[in-house]
Amino acid sequence: MNRREKLGLTLMLALTLTSCSVIDNVRDSKKSWIPPAPTPTFTYNSLSGRIGNDNRVIAVKIDDTKQARPQIGLTEADVVYVEQVEGGVTRLAAIYSSRLPAQIGPIRSARISDMELLEQYGKVAFAFSGAQSKLRPLINSANFFNVGAEREGIAVYSRDKDRRAPWNMILNTRELLTRIDKRNLDVALASNRGWNFSKKSEQGREIISAQMRWPATRYEISWSEEYSGWLITHDGTGKDDARGVPIVASTFIAQVVSISDSEYGDKFGERTPLVTTVGAGKAFIFRDGRVIIGRWNRPTAQDGTTFTTEQGEEITFARGQIWFALVAQEPKITYPVEPELSGSASPTPSK
């Protein structure tokens, strides 16, 4: 083999090795290349900011007296309102959209304040045990679908044999949804009602606890790092659901409103309070272990409720269950002692 042939053979061998190397690299690259995982996307409910869809809005009237506790299905509510009723005690209006438990209760009757309160959510389905005869014409003309017990009966509502009447009426939600579909009710879907959400906020001031009072009952909240929310006590007893799980509010608002006597009353002669939620007033927004003092504003019954600082800046909520305590008086807040005042001093209430 002459020199030229040797050179040609060497060149061919080099090209072959290079070609194989390139092919092997491509093959290795194909074997080892893993496409990046797609970034997960979540749908958040407009009312609570929880992961979940903006489903139909179901409003439910729930008893809040000692005999009614523990309540059933309350942890799944997106929003909970605490309203004053006769005798100075409270009753709950729970708003469901992102989640709907199988049962909710104990169910109690509607009040005049519910008409105005619920209208901001659009034409919702309103579940309640009944109402006094004088109030029924207003219920029939109100901007919600009446899916109460007097209309739907035992097909939707049942009695819990382990509870005493009248604290034993239970709403069965699967049957309720069946009735809503059968009646072709165009129930409003959840939508933004005036507040937005953000990650942890450093606005406001750190607190130890806050107490909200009505004439015959009181709520107290304290921050829990374990649950990343506000633990609620009611008349000194921790508020748990029927499963024994603590009820935790991600955001708790003490909304200072006008509470006056209405023209309605109960069978015992007590006047029914009228809780006015249209207008403007002071608000205490509790989130992330802190309180932000600001203002609430709701121009008309159809409008949602907005919350701003005294300087007019938006106050955002933490994602999760939201509680509104509708109170006539400002809450009593206990703040931690400032470092320079620590020692034998105790935490100082705001009032």
334 forms beta bridges with: 209, 349
pLDDT at 108 over 60: yes
Residue type, 71: Q
User: What are the φ/ψ torsions at residue 309 (nearest 5 degrees)?
Assistant: -75, 175
What pLDDT is recorded for position 25? 36
- Helix/strand/coil (H/E/C) assignment for every residue in 287-322: ECCEEEEEEEEECCCCCCCEEEECCCCECCECCCCE
Taking a C-beta distance cutoff of 8 angstroms, is the pair 291, 342 a contact? no
Average pLDDT over residues 319-332: 99
Mean pLDDT of 248-277: 94
Q: Is residue 77 predicted with pLDDT exceeding 50?
A: yes
- pLDDT of the residue at 345: 53
Which has the minimum average pLDDT: 37-46, 119-128, 166-175?
Answer: 37-46
Report pLDDT for 139: 95
Instruction: Write the pLDDT tens digit of every residue in 44-76.
Output: 999 999 999 999 999 999 999 999 999 999 999
Higher pLDDT, 338 or 101: 101
Asked if the model's pLDDT at residue 23 lies above 60, the reply is: no
* pLDDT, position 351: 56
Looking at the predicted structure, is the pLDDT value of residue 2 above 70? no
Residue 270's pLDDT band, with cuts at 50, 70 and 90, is confident
Query: Does residue 37 or residue 309 have the better pLDDT?
Result: 309
The whole-number average pLDDT for the span 272-283 is: 98
User: How many residues comprise the chain?
Assistant: 351
Structural domains of the chain ordered from first start: 58-182 (3.50.90.10), 205-337 (3.50.90.10)
Amino acid at 94: A
Query: What distance separates the 2 farthest-apart alpha carbons in the chain?
Result: 124
Local confidence band at 299 (pLDDT 50, 70, 90 cut-offs): very high
CB-based contacts of 235-244 (< 8 A; 24+ apart in sequence): 235/66, 237/69, 239/69, 239/70, 240/70, 241/70, 241/71, 241/72, 241/73, 241/74, 241/75, 242/70, 242/71, 242/72, 242/73, 244/70
Give the per-residue pLDDT at 24: 39
Q: At residue 171, what are phi and psi to the nearest 5 degrees?
A: -90, 125
The rounded mean pLDDT for the chain is 90
Considering the chain, what percentage of its residues have pLDDT values greater than 70?
Answer: 86
Is the backbone of residue 338 left (phi > 0), alpha (psi -120 to 50) or beta? Answer: beta
Which pLDDT score, from 0 to 100, does residue 188 have?
Answer: 98
State yes or no: pLDDT of 302 exceeds 70: yes
For the cut 90, the answer to whether the pLDDT of residue 5 exceeds it is no
Answer whether 187's CB lies under 8 Å from 57's CB: yes
pLDDT at 141: 94
Q: Above 90 in pLDDT, residue 204?
A: yes
d(CA 267, CA 325) in angstroms, rounded, equals 26
Strand residue runs (E) in 79-178: 79-84, 90-96, 103-104, 124-127, 144-146, 157-159, 169-172
Residue 7 has pLDDT above 50, yes or no: no
Residues ≥6 apart with Cβ < 8 Å to 60: 77, 93, 94, 96, 104, 107, 126, 127, 128, 171
Q: Which of 278, 228, 239, 233 is nearest to 255 (CA)?
A: 278
Phi then psi for residue 225, to 5 deg, are -70, -35
Tokens representing residue 249 in the block: 């509010």
Looking at residue 304, what is its pLDDT? 98
pLDDT in tens, 218-258: 999 999 999 999 999 999 999 999 999 999 999 999 999 99
pLDDT band per the 50, 70, 90 thresholds, residue 41: confident
Q: Residue 38's pLDDT band (boundaries 50, 70, 90)?
A: confident
pLDDT exceeds cutoff 50 at 20:
no
d(C-alpha 318, C-alpha 287), whole Å: 7
26-30, 38-42, 310-314: least confident range: 26-30
